[in-house]
Amino acid sequence: MSTPDFGKVAVLMGGASAEREISLLSGTGVLHALRSKGVDAHAFDPAERELWTLKTEGFSRCFIALHGRFGEDGTIQGALELMGIPYTGSGVMASSMAMNKVMTKRLWSAEGLPTPRSCVLGPDQRSAADLQRVLDTLGLPLIVKPPHEGSSIGITKVTQAEQLAPALALAAQYEPEVLCEEFIVGDEVTCPVMGSGADATALPVVRIQAPDGAYDYQNKYFTDAVSYRCPSGLPATEEAQIARIVLAAYRALGCRGWGRADLMVRASDRKPFLLEMNTSPGMTGHSLVPMSARAQGISYEDLCLRLLALTALDASHPPRRSA
């Protein structure tokens, strides 16, 4: 089967976020995969080139391999909308919502979807009384994280009360507002999604087994200490329940193209809890969407091609009126 003519394709990678290093790894993998399929693909780093040159240099569409801020938070999507260049992944609103873990949890809670209990502390809420309120509400252990970062950046698992203040200080290095979240004891899983609306489908669940539960930045990308199970080994009923919840979460946010939800399955009652939705998931050698796709018989190269075929814009662009 011949590869469709996608025109000149920019693989957006790098960028200015704290996840730049991982984005470069993802983008390089995507670039090589698309070229191996005969796509006229080119690397494009928005941190090093003016974004408007995408338009002046005649790019037909973009594969977004950017992670974190200015890549999956709706900003790059808004710029591409203005230029009329279709792109992979979710649109402006869904990207912006999903990037903000606080807003995502509020939306999911309003939709009746399970997500761990949480508290949000602003920059002026660091008193002993504020910290005690968090401990009284969530108990120990708990998780502290910056709401807009990914790849486990700035996250701390707090197991003792005296660890809370340093954990807040670490997260606050990335942004002033900090999210404190109930820690769910159980299996860590992830479930990718492809497609849009009623046509969106869940890919196989991946179960993550990290040493001492430390699925952190280093173990995610630079060691082989983490084991991944796909097929997950979970009962079919559990996997089906996870897929249903993930699809509902994906659609509630208005996501399109592709995404990946991270969850915890509570050991005591096997109830799944949504942690976050990634709208521009990693595509590195350790990444989970390619792993899940491979379990369904989709190679890395074919996955990249399928995602490129799902490029879209939020709005139609009528022809310009003549003066």
Query: Could you give the angle at which helices 164-172 and 128-138 cross, rounded to 10 degrees?
Result: 100
Q: Which residues of 185-214 are buried (b: 16+ CB within 10 A; e: fewer)?
A: ebbbbbbbbbbbeeebebbbbbbbebeeee
Residues catalogued as catalytic: 19, 151, 221, 260, 262, 276, 278, 282
CA–CA gap between residue 35 and residue 42 (Å, rounded) = 9
Give one DSSP letter per residue of 13-72, joined into a string: ---SSTTHHHHHHHHHHHHHHHHHTT-EEEEE-TTTS-TTHHHHTT--EEEE---STTTS
**CB neighbours of residue 227 within 10 Å:** 10
Q: Provide the sign of the torsion angle of the four alpha carbons 128, 178, 107, 240, taken in this order.
A: negative
**Alpha carbon 70 to its chain's center:** 13
Please name the amino acid found at residue 188.
E
CA–CA gap between residue 231 and residue 213 (Å, rounded) = 20
Task: Tell me the three state secondary structure of residue 321.
Answer: coil
CA–CA gap between residue 48 and residue 41 (Å, rounded) = 18
